[in-house]
A = this chain, B = another copy of it.
Amino acid sequence: MENRKKVEVCHTPSLYHQYEKENQIVVAIDVLRATSAMCTAFDNGVEKIIPVSTIEEAKAYKAKGYIVAAERKGEMVEGFDLGNSPFGYTDGKYKGETIVITTTNGTRAINMAKDADTVVIGSLLNLDYLSDWLIKQNKDVLLLASGWKDRFCLEDTICAGAFVDNLIKSTKFTCDEDSSIAAKYLYLSAKDNYMAFLKASSHRRRLKALDLNKDIKYCLTPNQTNVIPVLKGDALELI
């Protein structure tokens, strides 16, 4: 029991300062859609992803000739190559390429976590594959939900809860922090029908208005990719 590692959930980036980062693996989660798109991109052969926080940084990369994805308010920002949809990466068009990405919440959370020992990318799409890896690392895990503009968001917390559930079941982890217990119970309430559970969620409403139901359904279907993107310096690469 005493050798078990700790798994915690940070519900929004605004609470990130409350958590220890030393000797932790931070899992950045933005289910709709940044980290889902990243998992899909790597699964389709993308070589590197450079997550940047601002449109200005994205523009600077674009000027240097990079392929750049930029999303704000759920839509692709004019003048860039891609938005935030996982389906932008599924045709193998970007195999071997480096892509720069900026999104409303996800890339901000990833960059916020740069002070941690290790930052990996989590989504429902790599749930079991990443969980198995986390279980083998023998380190504390902090699941960082990206939220929506620093506010709590349901789908990221549910995804964090799915990781908590997997890690606890391995018996290698303890979960005795309230936010992690809450995330786990929310996951257990939601897991049999994510779409129905999230029907009232603010972000899904936001995306539904943009006719992104296909994206949402895909992002909420676990275990479609076997990838673990990890942050090395300024770029994400496969582990």
Query: Which of A48-56, A127-135, A173-181 interfaces with chain B?
Result: A173-181
Selected from B150, B176, B185, B189, the residue in CB contact (under 8 A) with A202 is B176
B200 touches A176 (CB 8 A): yes
A154 at the interface (CB under 8 A from B): yes
Residue of B nearest to A155 (CB): B178
Q: What is the minimal beta-carbon distance from A123 to any residue of chain B, in angstroms?
A: 18
Known: A176-B202, A176-B205, A202-B177. A182 touches B152 (CB 8 A): yes
Q: Inside 8 A of A4's CB, which chain B residues have their CB?
A: none
Q: Is A15 an interface residue (CB 8 A)?
A: yes
Say yes or no: is A213 at the interface (Cβ < 8 Å to chain B). no
Q: A164 to nearest B CB, angstroms?
A: 12
Residues of A in contact, count (CB < 8 Å): 30
Chain B residue nearest to A188 in the complex (CB): B189
For A150, list chain B residues within 8 Å (CB): 18
Query: Least Cβ distance of A168 to chain B in Å?
Result: 11
Contact with B along A131-162 (1 / 0, CB 8 A): 00000000000000000101111100100000
A11 at the A/B interface (Cβ < 8 Å)? Answer: yes
**A188 contacts across to B, CB distance below 8 A:** 189
| In the complex, the 3 A-B pairs of residues with the closest C-beta atoms, listed nearest first | A152-B179, A154-B178, A185-B189
